[in-house]
Amino acid sequence: MEKQLVFATSNEHKVREVNQILKTDITLISLKAIGCLEDIPETKDTIAGNAIQKAQYVYDKYNRSCFAEDTGLEIAALGNEPGVRTARYAGPAKDAEANMALVLEKLKHQEDRSARFKTVIALILQGELYTFEGIVNGHIAHEKKGAKGFGYDPIFIPENQELSFAEMGDEAKNAISHRGRAFKKFNLYLDNIK
């Protein structure tokens, strides 16, 4: 099978984590390397819909096998918000500090702090679409803890753990995270079609 896949993301943190999780001989090609410098639309109302939209955009425009992933944080007490608005919860700047501050403010008087991260990967391989999902349950901390990771990691404590994702480091996070789980399924699939 094709040994190169375009990873349709502009988030460098995702690229770093995925490079550590994937154990294949597939070479990941960046959007920049294929000349895709534009903002890819993410206008659907589900995480899966957005992952598929991103992958489809690259496949249609550049005719390359590719995958995209979309990740959302779902907080039970907020009716599963921010969900598809995770990146831009506090506004279009995609500012992680502002996003976390907004979540902490909204949960200030909440006892139920349960939350989960969900990742959906959409793979388009020689024109066929496949999806893979990974979920990690947990809760939102009362304050930020740790400086590793990215996004909402300082306020997310995965279930059965005391440390936030931002206190863990990549290896420990990838072993249990939404992205780690989704990419392990993705990896198994790629191994089986070789």
- The catalytically annotated residue of 25, 39, 60, 70 is 70
Q: In the bound complex, what is the minimum distance in angstroms from residue 66's beta carbon to ligand ITT?
A: 12
35 residue type, one letter: G
Nearer to ligand ITT, 141 or 193 (CB): 141
Written as six digits, the tokens of 105 are 């403010």
**Residue 70 is among the residues annotated as catalytic for this protein:** yes
Angle at 161 between CA 163 and CA 156, to 5 degrees: 55
Nearer to ligand ITT, 160 or 192 (CB): 160
Nearer to ligand ITT, 65 or 119 (CB): 119
What are the φ/ψ torsions at residue 13 (nearest 5 degrees)? Answer: -65, -40
Which chain residues interact with ligand ITT by CB under 6 A?
Answer: 9-11, 14, 42, 70-71, 86-87, 94, 96, 149-153, 165, 177, 179
Nearest to 17 by CA among 171, 136, 159: 171
Q: In the bound complex, what is the minimum distance in angstroms from residue 70's beta carbon to ligand ITT?
A: 4
Nearer to ligand ITT, 19 or 191 (CB): 19
Angle at 97 between CA 114 and CA 145, to 5 degrees: 55
Nearest to 41 by CA among 15, 17, 10: 10
Q: In the bound complex, what is the minimum distance in angstroms from residue 179's beta carbon to ligand ITT?
A: 5
The sign of the dihedral angle between the CA atoms of 17, 18, 23, 27 is: negative
For the annotated catalytic residues, the residue numbers are 70
